[in-house]
């Protein structure tokens, strides 16, 4: 039933619906041009009709006044005297005018001789064709005159006729009878003139429509070109070119205002799209970093956990602690015993004594050794967890407890600690002359920065390698304002250069060593998390690979930069630049010259 009713409902659609559908499918320029031309055609038709009507009224009005004047002169007493009925006589005073008395049922005939109407007729001057009058008996009644237009009996002329039924005295027979007094004037070819006017108007109107159509097409196309630009721009944006914009035009116009609004909208869309892309890229990179971070952290934590589990399993397999003495005395071990308690040949891979059966249990000294190893591994795992927590806090961008900090004092404390840890190494503190090295920062974190750099130099250089800690005044280009910002491997000494535009006073701290240095590809990755320049170095001596990553994060949190300058066989220089405190900066009279390095004896 639904299928049967569908065609009927379609056929019953109102006619205006088809016109609306056609209008919806028609382009805008076509509708504008069509509307303009339709209005022009209607205006021309109205003008033509009005001109024809005015011309016809003008021609008839001129003749009607003459007809009324002559007609009133013939009917002064309500009757008329005619020389002969049915015969037309010319009126001498008006060319082309005739007067006659029509006998009902017959047409007028011409007469150029004989008597005429007194004062009106003449012996010549009749037109070639007379008016073709109606032949009915009552076409002109006696109650009033009739004014009509009739054609000629022959030819294409037209006549304007005024007639009225009146008593008529026939002068030839001297009898009175009823006749129709007719006064007519020849209009000539009025129809031809009007037809000629219509033809001229059609030709002129068609020319106007053609010219106007050409002008309208050009004008509409020129004025709709901005819409074409908008369409083109929209198509380019749809293809992914979000940087395209609509050409700017006068904002006082509708197209200009629309273009400005669309450009503003496109700019917002582009910014939102790029922000979304950057967010997705950042999320992807963050996810990748998180996966790598979790994998590295799991790998680092697995080593101490494996060791702890191995010792616990060994303890369980040995059956706990024996109450009696170990079956092997220290004297029996003899030369196999080393300073650590056991020779390498008599140890398991975990460093435990071999040769005891599970039933014998552990000696007290073995338990002490196991507990010492467990404590060392737990401490190492605790340090790793602390480093991970520190990096997590830096990633969360938690605010620091900023306060004025004397960076020289921190550097001196770090040098003192290094001398105590490695008394066989030359560790020097070199201070350049200048203002106080005061920065606004978190003192424990800044201590950690210097401590990590010094410890890195002590750990990754051979014994006896010299380490130098230098501190001087310089300048800093804030991160993101120039090529020197951020962490990297430029290692350039900005303190020795002229101040760059946008730079601020800074404290420059260098930690140098005379070690083997690094290759360029190693230097580029030295601040990455869990990265070790020497992959063959074991974890007990090489650290967790998080120290320099923590340094980079802490320096960035303080608004500074850290960079490394190194080369194979030429040592390594880690340079930290931190903004000078405003109080210390105000105390400076001028930018210090290039500092001359000089050793300062330390009381520590």
Answer yes or no: is 131 within a domain. Answer: yes
The answer to whether residues 448 and 550 touch, using CB atoms and an 8 Å cutoff, is yes
* pLDDT for the residue 324: 55
* pLDDT for the residue 118: 64
The answer to whether residues 156 and 191 touch, using CB atoms and an 8 Å cutoff, is yes
Answer yes or no: is 228 within a domain. Answer: yes
The answer to whether residues 188 and 163 touch, using CB atoms and an 8 Å cutoff, is no
Same structural domain, 159 and 208: no
Structure tokens at 389: 């927590």
Structure tokens at 158: 């037209």
Answer yes or no: is 267 within a domain. Answer: no
* pLDDT for the residue 207: 92
Residue 108: half-sphere exposure toward Cβ, Cα within 13 Å: 31
Number of domains in the chain: 4
Same structural domain, 580 and 505: yes
Answer yes or no: is 17 within a domain. Answer: no
* pLDDT for the residue 345: 39
Q: Cα(109)–Cα(592) distance, rounded to whole angstroms?
A: 135
Same structural domain, 443 and 551: yes
Answer yes or no: is 13 within a domain. Answer: no
Which of 165, 188, 211 terminates a domain? The answer is: 188
Answer yes or no: is 60 within a domain. Answer: yes
* pLDDT for the residue 537: 44
* pLDDT for the residue 413: 92
pLDDT under 70 in the chain at which residues? Answer: 1-16, 19, 22-24, 76, 112-116, 118-125, 142, 189-191, 296, 299-300, 318-362, 394-397, 479-502, 532-544, 585-604
Same structural domain, 548 and 434: yes
SS in 3 state form for 60-121?
HHHHHHHHHHHHHHHCCCCCEEECCCCEEEECCCCCCEEEEEECCCCCCEECCCCCCCCCCC
Same structural domain, 159 and 209: no
Same structural domain, 413 and 496: yes
Same structural domain, 430 and 542: yes
Which structural domain range is residue 421 located in? 400-586
Same structural domain, 59 and 83: no
**CATH number, domain with residue 580:** 3.30.565.10
State how far the alpha carbon of 143 is from the alpha carbons of 122, 149, 177, in Å. Answer: 30, 19, 17
Q: Cα(562)–Cα(570) distance, rounded to whole angstroms?
A: 19
3-state secondary structure of 451: helix
Same structural domain, 488 and 523: yes
The answer to whether residues 437 and 505 touch, using CB atoms and an 8 Å cutoff, is no
Nearest to 549 by CA among 282, 284, 292: 292
- Single pTM value for the model: 0.46
Answer yes or no: is 138 within a domain. Answer: yes
Which of 327, 358, 392 terminates a domain? The answer is: 392
Structure tokens at 157: 């002329």
Answer yes or no: is 16 within a domain. Answer: no
The answer to whether residues 489 and 533 touch, using CB atoms and an 8 Å cutoff, is no
CA 482 from centre of chain: 29
Which of 173, 188, 203 terminates a domain? The answer is: 188
* pLDDT for the residue 410: 93
* pLDDT for the residue 362: 66
Q: What share of the chain is helix, strand, coil (3-state, %, to 5)?
A: 45, 15, 35
State how far the alpha carbon of 202 is from the alpha carbons of 174, 209, 273, 425, in Å. Answer: 57, 10, 60, 114
Same structural domain, 50 and 66: yes
Same structural domain, 465 and 367: no
Q: Which residue, chain included where needed, has tokens 């401590």?
A: 451
3-state secondary structure of 229: helix
Same structural domain, 313 and 448: no
Q: Cα(183)–Cα(102) distance, rounded to whole angstroms?
A: 10
């Amino acid at each position: 039933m639904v299928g049967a009713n569908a065609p009927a409902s379609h056929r019953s659609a109102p006619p205006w619906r088809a016109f609306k559908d056609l209008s919806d499918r028609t382009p805008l320029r076509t509708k504008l041009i069509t509307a303009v031309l339709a209005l022009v055609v209607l205006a021309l038709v109205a003008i033509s009709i009005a001109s024809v009507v005015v011309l016809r009224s003008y021609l008839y009005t001129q003749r009607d006044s003459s007809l009324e004047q002559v007609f009133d002169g013939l009917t002064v007493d309500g009757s008329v005297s005619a020389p002969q009925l049915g015969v037309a006589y010319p009126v001498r005073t008006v060319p082309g005018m005739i007067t006659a008395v029509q006998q009902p049922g017959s047409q007028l005939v011409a007469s150029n001789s004989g008597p005429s109407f007194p004062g009106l007729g003449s012996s010549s001057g009749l037109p070639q064709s007379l008016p073709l009058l109606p032949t009915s008996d009552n076409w002109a009644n006696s109650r009033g005159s009739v004014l009509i237009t009739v054609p000629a009996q022959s030819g294409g002329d037209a006549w304007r006729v005024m007639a009225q039924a009146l008593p008529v005295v026939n002068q030839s027979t001297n009898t009175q009878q009823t006749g129709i007094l007719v006064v007519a004037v020849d209009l000539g070819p009025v129809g031809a003139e009007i037809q000629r006017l219509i033809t001229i108007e059609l030709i002129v109107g068609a020319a106007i429509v053609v010219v106007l159509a050409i002008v309208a097409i050009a004008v509409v196309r020129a004025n709709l070109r901005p819409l074409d630009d908008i369409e083109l721009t929209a198509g380019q944006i749809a293809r992914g070119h979000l940087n395209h914009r609509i050409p700017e035009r006068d904002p006082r116009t509708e197209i200009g205002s629309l273009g400005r609004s669309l450009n503003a909208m496109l700019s917002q869309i582009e910014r939102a799209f790029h922000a979304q892309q950057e967010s997705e890229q950042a999320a992807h990179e963050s996810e990748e970093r998180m996966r790598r971070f979790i994998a590295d952290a799991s790998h680092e934590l697995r080593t101490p956990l494996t060791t702890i589990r191995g010792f616990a399993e060994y303890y369980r397999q040995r059956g706990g602690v024996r109450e009696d003495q170990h079956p092997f005395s220290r004297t029996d071990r003899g030369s196999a015993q080393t300073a650590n308690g056991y020779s390498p040949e008599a140890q398991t891979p975990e460093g435990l004594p071999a040769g005891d059966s599970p039933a014998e249990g552990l000696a007290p000294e073995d338990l002490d050794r196991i507990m010492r190893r467990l404590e060392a591994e737990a401490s190492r795992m605790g340090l790793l967890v602390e480093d991970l927590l520190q990096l997590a806090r830096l990633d969360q961008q938690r605010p620091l407890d900023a306060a004025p900090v004397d960076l020289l004092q921190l550097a001196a404390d770090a040098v003192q600690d290094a001398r105590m840890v490695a008394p066989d190494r030359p560790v020097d503190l070199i201070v350049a002359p200048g203002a106080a090295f005061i920065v606004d920062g978190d003192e424990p974190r800044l201590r950690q920065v210097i401590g990590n750099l010094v410890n890195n130099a002590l750990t990754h250089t051979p014994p006896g390698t010299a380490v130098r800690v230098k501190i001087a005044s310089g300048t800093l280009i804030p991160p993101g304002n120039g090529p020197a910002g951020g962490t990297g491997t430029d290692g350039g000494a900005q303190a020795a250069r002229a101040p760059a535009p946008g730079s601020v006073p800074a404290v420059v701290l260098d930690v140098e060593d005379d070690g083997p240095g690094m290759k360029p590809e190693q230097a580029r990755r030295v601040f990455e998390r869990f990265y070790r320049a020497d992959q063959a170095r074991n974890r007990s001596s090489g650290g967790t690979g998080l120290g320099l990553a923590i340094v980079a994060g802490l320096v960035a949190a303080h608004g500074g930069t850290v960079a490394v300058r190194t080369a194979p066989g030429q040592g390594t220089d880690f340079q930290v630049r931190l903004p000078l405190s405003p109080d210390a900066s105000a105390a400076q009279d001028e930018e210090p010259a290039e500092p001359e390095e000089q050793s300062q004896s330390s009381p520590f």
